Each structure stands twice: as structure tokens, then as C-alpha cells.
Amino acid sequence: MEIESAEGNPAYYVKSVEKTFAVLLAFTADEPRLTMTRVAAKAELSRAAARRFLLTLADLGYLRTDGTHFELTPRALDVGASFLANLTLPQIAEPHLRRLAVDLNETTSLCILDGTDVVYIARVAAPRLLSVSVNVGTRFPAWATSMGRILLAGLPEAHREAYYESVELTSYTENTVASIDALRSEVDRAAERGWSLVSRELDDGLRGLAVPVRRGNDLIAALNVSLQTHRAPEDEIAATVLPRLQLAAEGIADDFGGRQRGVA
């Protein structure tokens, strides 16, 4: 049984480690440069203690200072580098997909483009569903899905045109896009709007809404939610479901290495 200190912490607890991280975590995106006084206030330390921690961290290379302000150095990334190196995009996306699935009571997925298909790399079934026929690794023709059109919209123009020249369209339902010109228009529309809604083209009972997931300027995946066709009209989906999907995409991008501010 661990013996507790007078402060209620286990006997092994090193208070200086807690204080060190309190100092490091005082630096945020909103406040990347801090004075000693500001660090002391944010870390709940005396000014003298904050000074010792700041100067030690500067000597170790984790902080730099101009004599008045302190800021993190790239070496601070070493703290989480091993953890981040072992994370994959599906692992990072799954908690976001799970929250979105619960929020919307619909199935959520993350897909990438592979040749002429989209491939599911993460998927969380709607809580109300007992089983699903689509799993991680499932492929669908990119041109017939909302996530595929988002991913096609992100391709360089030459690659997109090469795709149009190589793909063969198949009629899955009476609503399936029927020509390359029509497909080109739909992909251009997705590029312009920043999202894609495909209704009853692959399956008569389903609609798919997708948004891009970006890391900086790079399109790394498409985030999708599958919707029953009776749920709501398109304008209502755009007003209520789309913002939640976009927020989840931003969360995945941030956790996977950050999205460039100002990029939709």
C-alpha cells in the first residue's frame, strides 16, 4: 500500500515534475510568448520558482528567451514525438467518429482514395444499428460516393482528368450519375462548396454527406456520415448535420498534426 504525503499524493510523487509540466503547458497557441510573471500566474508558482524552472528549461533547450519573454523551442516536440509516431490516422479519427455517430445517431466513416475506389479506413456504426455490411477495408467506386467526390475534388486537375478518362460508370440505381460530364459537374460542385452530398446513387435507401480532412494544405481523407433518405431534406442537412461533420473533421486534422489556419 502506497504511503501518501501530507498533500495527499503517493510517496513516490515528485512535485517538481508536476511543476515542470505546469510551466511547459502554460505556453499555448493563444499565448506562445510569456513573461516570467505570466508563467508564474498560469502555473500557480511564485515568481522566484517560475524563474528557476524557466531558466532550467531554457538551459536544457526546451525554451528560449530574449531576456523578457520565453517561448517553446522545437525541442519541446520531443516530449510527444514517440507517442505521435505510433499513432495512425484511423486511431486518431476513431474517437471523433464515435462522438459524431452518437451525436447524430448515424454511421460515420473515414475514407481515402486508392486508385478508382474509396477505401474505408475507420468506421463507427450508428448506435441504433445491430450490424453493418460495410467494414474497414471495404471499397466503393469513388465517383458514386460523397467521400469519393470530395477526394476527387482535392486531386490536381491533371490527375482528376486522368481519372475521368479511365473510370467506367455503372448504374446502381436510377439516381446514379449517368455520364462523365455529369460526374465532372458534381465533383466541381463539391470542390466549390467544400462538401458533397450524394443521394440514392449507390443505394436507394441511403444518402452520404462528406467533408475533407486536411493537414495544412494536404487533403488526407474524407469524413462521411451515412444518412437515411427519409431523415431530412438537403437544406436541413446542410444547416444541421454539416457543421457537426466539419467540426469533427477539424478535430481529426488537429490531432493528426494540425490544420493550417484559414484553410477550409
DSSP three-state, residue 140 = strand
Say what the pLDDT of residue 114 is. Answer: 83
Say what the pLDDT of residue 210 is. Answer: 93
Q: Is the pLDDT of residue 12 over 90?
A: no
Identify whether the C-beta of residue 47 lies closer than 8 Å to the C-beta of residue 34. Answer: no
Closest CA to 218 of 145, 112, 86: 112
| Cα 207 off chain centre by | 22
Q: Is the pLDDT of residue 205 over 80?
A: no
Q: Is the pLDDT of residue 218 over 50?
A: yes
Lowest mean pLDDT among 111-120, 162-171, 195-204, 251-260: 251-260
Q: Is the pLDDT of residue 263 over 80?
A: no
Q: Label the pairing between strands 139-141 and 33-35.
A: unpaired
Stretch 228-237: mean pLDDT, rounded?
A: 71
Q: How far apart are CA 152 and CA 141, in angstroms?
A: 11
> ∠ CA(45), CA(46), CA(47), 5° rounding?
115
Say what the pLDDT of residue 208 is. Answer: 87
Q: Is the pLDDT of residue 264 over 60?
A: no
Say what the pLDDT of residue 70 is. Answer: 96
Q: Is the pLDDT of residue 130 over 50?
A: no
Enter the DSSP assignment of 135. -
Stretch 212-222: mean pLDDT, rounded?
A: 87
Q: Is the pLDDT of residue 127 over 80?
A: no
Say what the pLDDT of residue 39 is. Answer: 97
CATH of domain 87-255: 3.30.450.40
Instruction: Output 191 or 133, whichever has higher pLDDT.
Output: 191
Domain(s) labelled CATH 3.30.450.40 in the chain stretch across: 87-255
Say what the pLDDT of residue 84 is. Answer: 57
Q: Is the pLDDT of residue 1 over 50?
A: no
Q: Is the pLDDT of residue 43 over 50?
A: yes
Scan for cell 479519427, then name that residue: 93
Q: Which CATH number fits the domain 15-82, given the four candidates 3.90.1640.10, 2.60.40.10, 3.40.50.10320, 1.10.10.10?
A: 1.10.10.10
Counting beta carbons within 10 angstroms of the beta carbon of residue 45, is it exposed (0 to 12), middle (13 to 18) or buried (19 or more)? buried
Q: Which three cell numbers stand for residue 218?
A: 494536404
Lowest mean pLDDT among 12-21, 120-129, 238-247: 120-129
pLDDT tens digits, 52-72: 999 999 999 999 999 999 999
Say what the pLDDT of residue 201 is. Answer: 83
Q: How far is CA 162 from CA 119, 158, 171, 180, 222, in A?
A: 19, 6, 21, 12, 20
pTM, 2 dp: 0.62
Mean pLDDT of the chain: 84
Q: Is the pLDDT of residue 217 over 90?
A: no
Scan for cell 461533420, then name that residue: 245
pLDDT band at residue 211 under the 50/70/90 scheme: very high
pLDDT tens digits, 134-152: 667 788 888 889 999 999 9
Q: Which three cell numbers stand for residue 34?
A: 510569456
Q: How far apart are CA 148 and CA 176, in angstroms?
A: 14
Domain(s) labelled CATH 1.10.10.10 in the chain stretch across: 15-82
Q: Label the pairing between strands 218-228 and 117-124.
A: unpaired
